[in-house]
A and B are shown apart, each in its own frame.
Chain A
Amino acid sequence: MSTMDRDQARRILITYRLGEAAPHGSELAEALAMADRDPELSAWLEAQLRFDRTVRSRVRSVAPPSHLREAILSQPPRRSRRPRWAPPLGWALAAALALMSGTAVWLSYNPGSDGSSPQSASGPATGESFRKAMATMLTDGVYSLQVQSRSLEELRRFIAANGGAGNAAIPSSLEALNSLGCQVFSWNGHQATLICFTSSTHGYVHLVILEGSLPDVQGNAPVLAQAAGWNTALWQESGRTYLLCARGTDPELHTLIGG
Chain B
Amino acid sequence: MRADWKRPPGLVMSDNTFDMTAVVDAHYGVYRFALSLAREPADAFDLTQEAFLRLTENGHRLRDVRKIKAWLLTTVYREFLRGRRRDARYSMTTLEDVESELTDVSPIVAEQLDGATVLQALADLDEVFRAPVALFYLEDYSYAEIGEILGIPVGTVMSRLSRGKARLQRALTQLAPPNDAPNVIRFPSQAA
Contact = CB atoms under 8 A, between A and B. Distances in A.
B22 A54 contact: no
Interface residues of B, number: 71
Contact of B24 (A43, A69, A83, A150): A69
Contact of A58 (B29, B31, B119, B161): B119
Interface string B5-17: 1011001111110
Contacts, number: 168
- Main SS of the interface on chain B? helix
Interface string A172-185: 00000010110000
A51 B5 contact: no
B109 A40 contact: no
Interface in A145-192: 145, 147-148, 150, 178, 180-181
Interface string B111-128: 101111011001000000
Interface in B25-45: 25-26, 28-29, 31-32, 35-36, 41, 45
B17 to A, nearest CB: 8
B21 A62 contact: no
Nearest to B106: A47
B2 A51 contact: no
Given A58-B118, A78-B53, A69 B45 contact: no
Nearest to A17: B136
A258 to B, nearest CB: 21
Interface residues of A, number: 56
Interface of A: 6-7, 10-11, 14-15, 40, 43-44, 46-48, 50-52, 54-56, 58-62, 64-65, 68-69, 71-81, 83-86, 139, 141, 144-145, 147-148, 150, 178, 180-181, 198, 200, 203-204
Interface of B: 1-2, 5, 7-8, 11-16, 19-22, 24-26, 28-29, 31-32, 35-36, 41, 45, 48-49, 52-53, 56-57, 60-61, 63-66, 100, 102, 104-107, 109-111, 113-116, 118-119, 122, 134, 136-138, 143, 158, 161-162, 165-166, 168-169, 172, 183, 185, 187-188
